[in-house]
Amino acid sequence: MFGERQLILTCEHGGNEVPAAYADLFHGRDALLATHRGYDIGALELARRLAAELDAPLAAATVTRLLVDLNRSPHNRRGLFSELTRPLPAAEQAKILIRHYYPYREAVTRQVQALLDSGRGVVHLAVHSFTPVLRGQVRNADIGLLYDPARSLEADFCRAWAERLHRLAPTLRVRRNYPYRGASDALVTGLRRRLPAAFYLGLELEVNQALALGGGPVWKDLSRLLATSLR
Span 73-94, pLDDT tens digits: 999 988 999 999 999 999 999 9
Give the chain's domain count: 1
CA-wise closest residue to 212 among 89, 44, 97, 41? 41
- How far apart CA 93 and CA 1 sit, in angstroms, is 43
Residue range 182-231, pLDDT digits in tens: 999 999 999 999 999 999 999 999 999 999 999 999 999 999 999 999 99
Over its C-alpha atoms, the chain yields an Rg (Å, rounded) of 17
Percent over 90 (pLDDT), the chain = 97
Residue range 113-126, pLDDT digits in tens: 999 999 999 999 99
Averaged pLDDT, 149-163:
98
Write out the residue range of the structural domain in which residue 89 sits: 5-230
Whether the bond between 170 and the residue before it is cis, its omega within 30 degrees of 0, is no
List of residues 6+ apart from 16 with CB closer than 8 A: 33, 34, 38, 39, 62, 64, 66
CATH number of the domain bearing residue 184: 3.40.630.40
Q: What is the pLDDT of residue 2?
A: 42
In DSSP terms, which residues pair with 129 in a beta bridge?
207
User: Parallel, antiparallel, or unpaired: how do β-strands 200-208 and 5-11 relate?
Assistant: unpaired
pTM: 0.96
Q: How far is CA 12 from the centre of its chain?
A: 5
DSSP letter assigned to residue 20: G
Predicted confidence band of residue 70 (pLDDT cuts 50, 70, 90): very high
